[in-house]
């Protein structure tokens, strides 16, 4: 039994794990995940407990009203209300508010991501499949698409956000520490969907910017 859980536990860590958060939005999602797990565990335990009580009852008369209303509906309803309120609070915390965050662009097209961000001289440049952002600073990703619906997702930094043709979505994220974070398209978008992966390079803002030259789109090279 314990050995069978090893592969599942191994999948909870890694570059694409929502349970290894490296930013405030990702931590909120991980916290919500654990809350949902605990809540569903409580309801499952209640159902199993009621089932065992019914099996052991052996025909003895009990107050059906108390079992159904007190436990079956009352307890379950209370847990669900708490989870709903908690999820709404988490969703409110994750909204992009204020205009003080760095703005970058993410444009999805079959089968690549094009990112717009400030270059070494402060002027905007475009890169393919790599986004460069300063660590420790909030940034807003303006997400658009060229052809079909895609979905921008960096599990260690935050949740998913759809990229829709003709529409712009705003997604606020932050990387707490410098590093390389893996991202991917989380919406099936055609035969090349599995190739729509990208990386977010969070660099130390007190040091030099990393070399972008290998990822720059030719027409935007300084």
Q: Which of 32, 62, 93 is the last residue of a domain?
A: 93
Alpha carbon distance 38, 54 (integer Å): 24
pLDDT band at 59 (very low <50, low <70, confident <90, very high): low
For the stretch 167-179, pLDDT in tens is 999 999 999 999 9
**pTM listed for this prediction:** 0.79
167/191 same-domain check: yes
What's the structural domain count of the chain? 2
Alpha helices in 58-190 (DSSP H): 64-65, 76-93
146 with 50, same domain?
Answer: no
Q: Scan for tokens 């592969």, then name that residue.
A: 7
pLDDT at 182: 96
Predicted pLDDT of residue 218: 67
pLDDT of residue 92: 74
Is residue 2 in a domain?
no
Residue 1 lies in a domain: no
Let me know if residue 21 belongs to a domain. yes
Note whether 209 and 124 are same-domain residues.
Answer: yes
Location of structure tokens 């717009």: 116
Range of the domain at 180: 102-220
Let me know if residue 79 belongs to a domain: yes
- Comparing 46-50, 94-98, 117-121, 191-195, the range with the smallest average pLDDT is 94-98
Render pLDDT for 7-38 as a digit per residue (tens, 0 to 9): 454 455 577 888 888 888 888 888 889 988 99
Is the domain of 106 the same as that of 213?
yes
The answer to whether residues 113 and 74 belong to one domain is no
Q: Is the pLDDT of residue 53 over 80?
A: no
**Domain boundary residue among 36, 70, 93?**
93
Same domain, 158 and 213: yes
Choosing from 57, 72, 93, the residue where a domain stops is: 93
Q: Are residues 127 and 85 in the same domain?
A: no
Predicted confidence at residue 66, as pLDDT, reads: 64
CATH number at residue 117: 2.60.40.420
Give the percent of the chain with pLDDT over 70: 83
Asked which of 83-87, 142-146, 202-206 is least confident by mean pLDDT, the reply is 83-87
Q: How far apart are CA 183 and CA 198, in angstroms?
A: 5
As a 3-state breakdown, the chain gives helix, strand, coil percent values, each rounded to 5, of 35, 25, 40
Decide the pairing of beta strands 102-109 and 139-145: parallel
Q: What is the pLDDT of residue 3?
A: 42
């Amino acid at each position: 039994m314990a050995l069978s859980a090893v592969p599942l536990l191994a999948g909870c860590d890694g570059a694409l794990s929502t349970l290894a958060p490296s930013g405030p939005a990702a931590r909120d999602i991980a916290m919500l995940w654990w809350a949902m797990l605990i809540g569903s565990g409580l309801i499952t335990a209640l159902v199993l407990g009621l089932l065992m009580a019914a099996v052991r009852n052996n025909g003895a008369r009990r107050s059906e009203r108390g079992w159904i209303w007190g436990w079956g509906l009352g307890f379950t309803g209370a847990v669900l209300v708490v989870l709903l309120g908690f999820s709404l609070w988490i969703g409110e915390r994750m909204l992009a508010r204020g205009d003080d965050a760095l703005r970058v662009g993410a444009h999805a097209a079959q089968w690549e991501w094009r990112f717009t961000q400030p270059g070494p001289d402060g002027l905007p440049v475009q890169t393919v499949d790599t986004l460069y952002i300063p660590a420790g600073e909030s940034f807003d990703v303006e997400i658009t698409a060229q052809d079909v619906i895609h979905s921008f997702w960096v599990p260690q930094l935050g949740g998913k956000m759809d990229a829709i043709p003709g529409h712009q979505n705003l997604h606020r994220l932050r990387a707490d520490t410098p590093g390389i974070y893996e991202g991917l398209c989380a919406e099936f978008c055609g035969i090349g969907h599995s190739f729509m992966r990208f990386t977010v390079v969070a660099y130390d803002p007190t040091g030099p910017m990393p070399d972008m030259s290998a990822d720059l789109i030719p027409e935007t090279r300084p």
